[in-house]
């Protein structure tokens, strides 16, 4: 890494690859790590299936040397299932995350994703049970949430999670019913000011400049991108469009 790149990355927030079904797989994680992404999430994995099925484990979680830091995201509403799944990935990842934000009907109908936003006590218990199983404080236990129209409910959830020992929180600045609307910057800022654990902001990021501006406006510790990285895997490195060498690198990883 040259001095120019060091200067560009000095004092910036951490950059994250979001958990995206079908897309946040190993090859794509390897690619974005070349372009200033600091931490990658796996796609969402159903925790119970992961525990019970070797086929699921082999198909849903592929890693290699250098694929770190890596956070495995699980979907579950059972504290003990989450704790067991976390124990299974403890040796090959740096943390686990609970999907509390997915608004899709098939996920919500199982009681997962954004359906959990109405159950802050359950989420707190999930954190406590997982932390009781894995005492290593270097192993993160986190939540990825969406905001509620009543921001005080979101703050209450985040405070309960903090008291339970959550490592960090990712806040998508839209409600579960919103899709492409502008994110609620004020809501993210309020959450950041209400808890002391690191906060990662998510939603609508398409350029490095947008990421840095959002961090400045909210005071968050990290910025996560999803679709923006699919359109341009090099966005966090400051490229306006996907450079040709990015495509070449991706082909080499497949």
Domain of residue 172, CATH code: 3.20.20.70
Q: Tell me how far apart the alpha carbons of residues 169 and 105 are, in angstroms, rounded to a whole number.
A: 23
4 domain-assigned: no
| Whether 93 contacts 140, CB under 8 Å | no
Find the DSSP H helices in 112-207. Answer: 120-133, 151-164, 185-194
Q: Which of 40, 102, 158, 246 is catalytic?
A: 102
Residue 3 lies in a domain: no
Q: Which domain holds residue 32?
A: 14-252
Report if residue 142 sits inside a domain: yes
Of 6, 4, 41, the closest CA to residue 24 belongs to: 41
Number of structural domains in the chain? 1
Per the domain annotation, does 2 fall within a domain? no
Residue 233 within a domain? yes
Question: Torsion angle of alpha carbons 112, 162, 210, 116, nearest 10°?
Answer: 10
Q: Along the 254 residues of the chain, how does pLDDT read in single tens digits? A: 455 556 667 789 999 999 999 999 999 999 999 999 999 999 999 999 999 999 999 999 999 999 999 999 999 999 999 999 999 999 999 999 999 999 999 999 999 999 999 999 999 999 999 999 998 999 999 999 999 999 999 999 999 999 999 999 999 999 999 988 999 999 999 999 999 999 999 999 999 999 999 999 999 999 999 999 999 999 999 999 999 999 999 998 87
Q: Is residue 37 part of a domain?
A: yes
Q: Concatenate the DSSP letters of all residues of 78-110 into one string.
A: -HHHHHHHHHHHTTT-SEEEEEE----HHHHTT
Examine residue 8 and state whether it is found in any structural domain, yes or no.
no
Is residue 34 situated within a structural domain? yes
pTM above 0.85, yes or no: yes
- Catalytic site includes residue 100: no
């Amino acid at each position: 890494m040259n001095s120019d790149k060091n200067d560009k990355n000095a004092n910036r927030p951490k950059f994250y690859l979001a958990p995206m079904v079908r897309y946040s797989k190993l090859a794509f994680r390897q690619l974005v790590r070349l372009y200033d992404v600091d931490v990658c999430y796996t796609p969402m994995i159903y925790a119970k299936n992961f525990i019970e099925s070797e086929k699921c484990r082999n198909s849903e979680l592929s890693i290699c040397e250098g694929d770190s830091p890596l956070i495995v995201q699980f979907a579950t509403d059972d504290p003990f299932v989450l704790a067991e799944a976390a124990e299974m990935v403890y040796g090959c990842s740096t943390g686990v995350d609970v999907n509390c934000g997915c608004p899709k009907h098939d996920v919500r109908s199982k009681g997962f994703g954004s359906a959990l936003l109405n159950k802050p006590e359950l989420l707190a218990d999930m954190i406590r049970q997982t932390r009781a199983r894995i005492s290593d404080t270097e192993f993160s236990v986190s939540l990825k949430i969406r905001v509620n129209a009543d921001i005080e409910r979101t703050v209450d959830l985040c405070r309960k999670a903090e008291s339970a020992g959550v490592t960090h929180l990712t806040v998508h600045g839209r409600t579960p019913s919103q899709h492409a609307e502008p994110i609620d910057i004020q809501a993210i800022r309020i959450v950041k000011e209400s808890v002391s654990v690191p906060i990662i902001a998510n939603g609508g990021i398409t350029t490095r400049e947008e990421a840095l501006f959002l961090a400045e406006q909210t005071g968050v510790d990290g910025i996560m991108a999803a679709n923006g990285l699919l359109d341009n895997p090099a966005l966090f490195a400051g490229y306006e469009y996907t450079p040709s060498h990015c495509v070449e690198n991706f082909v080499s990883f497949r």
